[in-house]
A and B are shown apart, each in its own frame.
Chain A
Amino acid sequence: MRIDRHPILTFERGREIEFEFDGRRLRGCEGETIAAALHAAGVRVLRESIRLGRPRGFFCAIGRCSSCLMTVNGVPNVMTCITPLEEGMRVETQRTKGTVPDGGHPGGDAPADADGVPIVAWGEAPGESLGDVPLAVVGGGPAGLSAAIAAGRLGVRSVVIDENQTAGGQLIKQTHMFFGSREHHARVRGVDIGPKLLSELEELPVELMLGTTALGLYNDLTLSLLVEGRHRRLSPETIIVATGASENMLAFENSDLPGVYGAGAVQTLMNVHGVVPGDRVLMVGAGNIGLIVSYQLLQAGVEVAAVIEGMPEVGGYHVHAAKIRRAGVPILTSHTIVRAEGETTVTGAKVVEVDESWRPVDGTERRLDVDTICLAVGLTPNVELAFQAGTREAHVRELGGRVAVHGPDLETSIPGLYIAGDASGIEEASTAMLEGRLAGLAAAKRLGAGDPAKIDALVSEAAAGLAALRAGPFGRQPRYGKERMFALKNREGTDESQA
């Protein structure tokens, strides 16, 4: 189940250590996540659902969905997909809701009630203040890093907050060469772009706060952070929310079975931890992500039984489809999944052909022999932080759902609060980098850093780059979405009273 030979990646694994799973002794690698170690050992069922007792495996692998909660060293509800494995850990399948043990609440130094839950006044961020900083960037993906670089070059001091131990966001899983032109890092593999951005940061007044989750954002721009299990507060003058996106789920019979994974989770398992998700995979969705992850599965030595797509046409680029087609992977357009089969984990999938109105065509149902079903059915922007602060919201289908209303400078309805990258509308890393740059420039301008004329020139350059990337047919959707969004921002104007 571990990948030992990969065409693009080499895996630097920690030393082999022993841990306990439901009383069994298993071996894993130090530092990998508990869920990855279990998967490598063939364990796919991590917990049971509370009411129906149905088996659950992981789904998102990035600490978002709670599908992987287990009891670790007696502490329940541990997100095993993001918790590193340690020697001698006691890992147990969780069957109940669990109770928080004494001292387990991350309330920090705030006054607590009898149960140890911190008492805080409504609207006040708990925890000790980390002091002031002109700019805080939440999210260390391509958008966030580019924002900090752009502002940092103008002398703006900033912190970049990311819940992962490695900065780079989605980039750390992308083994393929990126599109675009040279200024967008085209031809460079995604995995190599993160380190490039980080090396640009080195010279600049930017502090990276990794392993730190932004839990809340108050409307006076105070951030509530979880740093090493403790609440902390940060009150920057400007904030850029670059939190990326979450994967969409698809409802079908048994879609909660272990073995039904998000495409991002499959990538994390395979390209970050070097563990294959299974032996034979059904990919659901033929957009670029479905096509690219299928190719990455082939590179990891996993068989892809088929890629199915409900629409009559492939959604992603033809060149991505061609790569897997010539390797023998069928692409079944106008097909959808009816049900996942299996008792405790996936052992097969029923798929069916659909007509133009997505109605199943009689007699076309068939079974595919797979042990993994990978969902690549779209992303939804992570907007919670911006919404908590009270930004104006709008539903823009072309951008992936509800997003914070923002203008071309990425400022939301709250002055000094910006949103960039997938969090502001689902697009690409290349566009995320340019949006991040624009947000960084706008924040710098607001903070009075640098020469305004020079900033304007940089803004025009980045805006022209964005326009070029969005000019083609595949950019039509985000282009329309952004135009609608800017019109909304314009119409309603900036409401200073919200600040």
Chain B
Amino acid sequence: MSHRRDGILDEKNLRAVRPSDERLKQGPVVMVECVERIPCNPCVAACSKGAISIEGDLNDSPAVDHALCDGCGICISACPGLAIFVVDMSREGEDATVMLPYEFRPLPDKGETVTTLDRAGEVIGEAKVLRVLDAKALDRTPIVSLEVPKSQAMDVRHFVRRETP
């Protein structure tokens, strides 16, 4: 329960929400980092593929069927906890893609290099911004796709811009 002490998910919790290595190799897939019983369920309605479900009552934590998820990322902006990420480890070469919610301004530009942070806010390295989605339907929770080394894809969960123009 260390996340109750410092706000950071521990290994055991992460293992429970992490897709299998097998699945990770097949293509982009969701990681729902929401492990507590809280009264919330918009993620369920957001996924048209039925990959996320909340069984019993509203408070159950979301169960994810990674086999049904195609990594589209639509659920990212629907989550009030900003707890949903999509990782793509299936790309050729050294790099993976991480899609994350980013509710700060100014937004980064496509192609820009940003400094990446882990769940504790520690600097991990740098990443290239591949895409910034800020459609009206996302309701002010834009989705940013970052290109990061595969070895860091399970840890990069936030970023800061190098210079704020």
Contacts and interface: CB of A to CB of B under 8 A. Distances in A.
Interface of A: 5-8, 176-182, 186-187, 189, 298-299, 312-314, 317-329, 331, 333, 430, 468-475
Given A181-B58, A471-B59, A328 B121 contact: yes
Nearest to B117: A326
Nearest to A313: B4
B119 A322 contact: yes
Interface stretch (B22-30, B37-45, B66-74, B88-96): B37-45
Interface string B113-126: 00001111110000
B6 A186 contact: no
Contact of B38 (A187, A298, A472): A472
Chain B, interface SS category: loop
Given A328-B121, A430-B39, A323 B6 contact: no
B39 A331 contact: no
A328 B1 CA distance: 20
B105 A319 contact: no
Contacts of A298: 104
Contacts of A6: 105
A179 B39 contact: yes
Contacts of A8: 103, 140
B38 A314 contact: no
B34 to A, nearest CB: 6
Contacts of B42: 177, 181-182, 186-187
Given A5-B106, A314-B7, A322-B83, A474 B119 contact: no
A327 to B, nearest CB: 6
Contacts of A317: 36, 38, 81
Contacts of A314: 4-7
B139 interface: yes
B76 interface: no
A348 to B, nearest CB: 22
A242 B9 CA distance: 38
A186 B4 CA distance: 24
B82 interface: yes
B80 A176 contact: yes
A314 B57 CA distance: 24
Given A314-B7, A322-B7, 13 more contacts: A5-B105, A5-B106, A176-B80, A177-B80, A181-B40, A187-B80, A312-B5, A319-B83, A321-B3, A323-B82, A326-B120, A331-B6, A473-B36
A127 B69 CA distance: 65
B21 to A, nearest CB: 24
Nearest to A321: B7
5 contacts: A7-B104, A187-B42, A314-B5, A325-B7, A326-B121
A475 B57 CA distance: 13
Contacts, number: 136
B8 interface: yes
Contacts of A333: 5-6
B38 A327 contact: no
A319 B39 contact: no
A322 B5 CA distance: 11
Contacts of B39: 179-181, 430, 468-472, 474-475
A329 B80 contact: no
Interface of B: 1, 3-9, 33-42, 45, 57-59, 78-83, 103-106, 117-122, 139-141, 157-158
B140 A322 contact: no
Contacts of B158: 326-327
A313 B58 CA distance: 24
Nearest to A472: B59
Given A182-B45, A187-B80, A314-B4, A329 B121 contact: yes
B127 to A, nearest CB: 14
B104 A320 contact: no
Nearest to A296: B103
A7 B38 CA distance: 26
B89 to A, nearest CB: 20
Contacts of B105: 5-7, 299
A186 B81 contact: no
B136 to A, nearest CB: 13
A179 B40 contact: yes
A33 B148 CA distance: 47
- Among all A-B residue pairs, the 9 with the closest Cβ atoms: A319-B81, A472-B59, A328-B121, A321-B7, A177-B80, A325-B7, A187-B42, A326-B158, A179-B40
A326 B156 CA distance: 9
Given A318-B35, A319-B82, A319-B83, A471 B121 contact: no
B37 A473 contact: yes
A176 B140 CA distance: 10
Nearest to A186: B42
A183 B78 CA distance: 15
B33 A299 contact: no
A345 B3 CA distance: 35
Nearest to A5: B105
A325 B6 CA distance: 8
A409 B119 CA distance: 44
Given A319-B81, A472-B37, A324 B7 contact: yes
A442 to B, nearest CB: 24
B41 A186 contact: yes
A472 B59 CA distance: 5
Contacts of B139: 177, 189
Given A322-B119, A327-B121, A472-B59, A180 B40 contact: yes
Contacts of A470: 39
Contact of A7 (B1, B8, B33, B103): B103
A307 B33 CA distance: 22
Contacts of A469: 39, 58
